Chains A and B, each alone.
Chain A
Amino acid sequence: MKFKIINEIFIEAINNVNRALSNKTPMPILKSVKIDLTNEGINLTASDSNITIKQFIPTFINDKQIIFVEEEGSSAIPGKLLQEVLRKANDEFVELTMIEDKLVHINFKNAVFTLNCLDVKEYPNINLISSNQPIIVDSKKLSEIIRQTVISIATSESRPILTGINFKVQDNILYCIATDSYRLSEKIFKFDNEITDINIVVPGKSLLELEKLIQSKPGEIKIHLSNNIISFEMDNLIFQSRLLDGTYPETSRLIPKEFGLTLGFNRHELIDIVDRVSLLSKEGATNIIKFDVYEDKTIISLESTEIGKVVEEVHPLSQEGSLLRIGFNAKYLLDALRILDDNIVKIMFTGEVRPFIVKTKDESITQLILPVRIE
């Protein structure tokens, strides 16, 4: 393998794939970035076995030659080190040459780095799927899907399946569901093309990493779903994640359809109130906030035997249905309110010990919270 490349472009690509590298991997080979060079361009692959990022750099971009290929080939170069070397390079071009199986030269200006590498043949054979029926979604939309659901994933490992987001395709609708069994977020995305029904669970951590990656990349993303891998394809970039093994709990019947009471609030105002009331909450403990709904006002209160008590009166923008008194974890409501976008939110209750939902006029997103018994 031997090639010369414009450093600026190479660094950017390496920075992209290096997001997948991890220091903690038990497999030594995964500390490396795999470089596959052909006359068409370079494929860079990095992985921590959970997520894999692959980037393609074409030889020509807009008729400008980026890569000067001398000899095709592959090698695995320590990723973090390569990144550091390129960052410090003081030349427009860098040249990489594989001397023998486990030795690579990096040349620029007057400097030569000789790096010890691992045998590229030992690199995992990562199958990047590209099905012919991808779901096509705008990168902003995908980012929104992840942000609005990921708040509800479980953080404890006691039920590993709940640390992921359920991706369920049914009748041309993608349902993304996350729950930690105390609250649930469901986002619905409708698409046009025909796709076979599938039901998989994607690790929440992988999706958070994806969200960071796509923030700065507007455009179209193709989602390929399969039974053991999910991959997201962008311009010259593929992000892939392993899945969680197991069956996700059936959640479709959990969301109530009829409601006894609906309250409308200004979202920002309600965030302020709940935030203020939570001041008296104890660090680390679950803090139960109470809503007492009267004809003309709603009283929001929080009482902690050790710290004290706070009561705040609020007048909902709209109110419909029977009166009620309910208590629940303040953090759950706050999380749900913060990731919604609209100015007006509706909180819809069915009963004192029944789950309630938080919605905006955006019908695609539902946040469900389970109350606790009070008194």
Chain B
Amino acid sequence: MSIKEYLNIQPKVVKMLLNSYNKQRLAHAYLFEGAKGTKKKALAIELAKLLYCEKQGEVCNECINCIRIEHQNHPNVLVVEADNNTIKKEQVLYLQQEYHKTTLEPGPKVYIIDKIEKMSINAANSILKFIEEPVADTYTILTTDNLHQILPTIISRCQVINFQPIPKASIVNYLIENGVDTYIAGICSHLTNDFDKALEIANNDKIINIIDLVIMISQAILNKQEDIIVLLENSNVDLTKDKKVSEYFLDVLLIYLRDIQNAKNNNFEIVFVNDLNFIQQYVVNISKEKLIYNINEVLKAKINLEYNANLVLLIDHLLLNLM
């Protein structure tokens, strides 16, 4: 994708970067901040290409510089990424050494550090040193999913750029273009902010079964049926084998509960459109307090899942509490 194709995803950011580039007013350090999947790293790489592309002021993705940056083979563009969820000390050391050397090929130096919150405080402090004393023709781009985890000293030395969450509609469109059913696309778009991740979920062969199961269980809760656990046993999905499946299950369940809550507040713009009539009919059966309690239970289960709780116990416990 060329930088201009990001215009409909992050219009403000792209326009701002292009303007600064054209006026030669690019800052020496940027901090790209926004939710997961908002294309922060992709745009950081696009910015590097913009600086190097043989077609001035564009990103062609065809010239040797664009290709090399894409393959991380450009000697003056260094991308540092978290390896196993942390940015290691050696990586920071290497970065520091690179920072103090002259370039191999003529041109500006570009450093991209993805997910800077994965860095230890010590490492972040040493990064600080070179953001603080910018060398001419050097650009540092940091990205983060969570601005609150970043040292204030780092934030104050960067130009912070806010990435807007991606509109659900564009994810839905993207999924439909890739052959996903409209109804499922609608649900999947609420599970993630990332195009590729959404497609991956939509293409998971279990997702339809998971959605069916959620609908059955939720209807049972609204109906005041007593046999939720039986439903679970008759279903085609085994929630107790794969952590990923359980995770999707909890997320989808949460969306359904939110739909019920919206209906309770007379807001009928819901995600499970096929169930609109059912929800309208039975929403009186559940009290607001019980609904909030149920949502809290699901959130609690999500946290326990992160901590590798026993899946069988976790799901049984949750369902008993939901009734």
Give residues in A with beta carbon < 8 Å to B.
Answer: 24, 26-29, 47, 49-50, 52, 118, 121-122, 124-127, 157, 160-161, 203, 227-229, 242-246
Contact = CB atoms under 8 A, between A and B. Distances in A.
B64 A49 contact: no
Given A26-B78, A157-B96, A160-B96, A122 B102 contact: no
Shortest beta-carbon contacts, A-B, top 10: A228-B102, A160-B100, A29-B73, A124-B75, A122-B73, A243-B102, A242-B101, A122-B68, A242-B102, A27-B73
B105 A50 contact: no
B72 A27 contact: yes
Contact of A245 (B64, B73, B93, B102): B102
B131 to A, nearest CB: 15
B67 interface: yes
Contacts of A245: 100-102, 135
B102 A157 contact: no
Nearest to B101: A242
B274 interface: no
A226 to B, nearest CB: 10
A121 B71 CA distance: 12
Most A CB contacts (10 A, CB to CB) among B102, B105, B106 go to B102
Contact of A125 (B94, B101, B105): B105
B149 interface: no
A28 B73 contact: yes
A20 B78 CA distance: 19
B67 A122 contact: yes
A27 B78 CA distance: 9
Interface in B229-271: none
A122 B97 contact: no
Contact of A246 (B74, B97, B100, B106): B100
B73 A203 contact: no
A28 B74 CA distance: 10
Interface residues of B, number: 23
A242 B99 CA distance: 12
Contacts of A29: 68, 71, 73
B102 A26 contact: no
Contacts of B67: 121-122
Given A157-B97, A242-B102, A246-B100, 18 more contacts: A26-B79, A26-B94, A27-B74, A28-B72, A49-B104, A50-B101, A52-B104, A122-B64, A122-B67, A122-B73, A126-B105, A160-B100, A203-B101, A228-B103, A229-B102, A242-B101, A243-B102, A244-B102
19 contacts: A26-B79, A49-B75, A49-B104, A122-B71, A124-B73, A127-B105, A157-B93, A157-B97, A160-B96, A160-B97, A160-B100, A227-B102, A228-B102, A229-B102, A242-B102, A242-B103, A242-B104, A244-B100, A245-B135
Nearest to A229: B102
A273 B237 CA distance: 80
A300 to B, nearest CB: 39
Given A26-B72, A27-B72, A126 B100 contact: no
A314 B94 CA distance: 47
Interface in B70-128: 71-75, 78-79, 93-94, 96-97, 99-106
Nearest to A227: B102
Contacts of A227: 102
Contacts of B105: 124-127
A244 B135 CA distance: 13
A269 to B, nearest CB: 41
Contacts of B104: 47, 49, 52, 124, 126, 242
A126 B101 CA distance: 15
Contact of A244 (B64, B75, B79, B101): B101
A29 B102 CA distance: 20
B74 to A, nearest CB: 8
A96 B102 CA distance: 35
Contacts of A122: 64, 67-68, 71, 73
Contacts of A124: 73-75, 104-105
Contacts of A49: 75, 104
Nearest to B96: A157
Nearest to B80: A26
A29 B104 CA distance: 14
Contacts of A28: 71-73
Most A CB contacts (10 A, CB to CB) among B67, B72, B96, B104 go to B104
Most B CB contacts (10 A, CB to CB) among A52, A121, A122, A126 go to A122
A160 to B, nearest CB: 4
Nearest to A29: B73
A29 B105 CA distance: 15
A229 B71 CA distance: 25
Nearest to A200: B102
Contacts of B106: 127
A276 B171 CA distance: 75
A242 B79 CA distance: 20
A281 B26 CA distance: 54
A143 B97 CA distance: 25
A121 B97 CA distance: 27
Nearest to A243: B102
Contacts of B102: 227-229, 242-245
Contacts of B71: 28-29, 122
Contacts of A242: 101-104
A369 to B, nearest CB: 26
A243 B93 contact: no
Interface string B165-182: 000000000000000000
Contacts of A27: 72-75
A32 to B, nearest CB: 10
A24 B102 CA distance: 19
A203 B94 CA distance: 14
Contacts of A118: 73
A128 to B, nearest CB: 11
A182 to B, nearest CB: 21
A204 to B, nearest CB: 12
Nearest to B135: A245
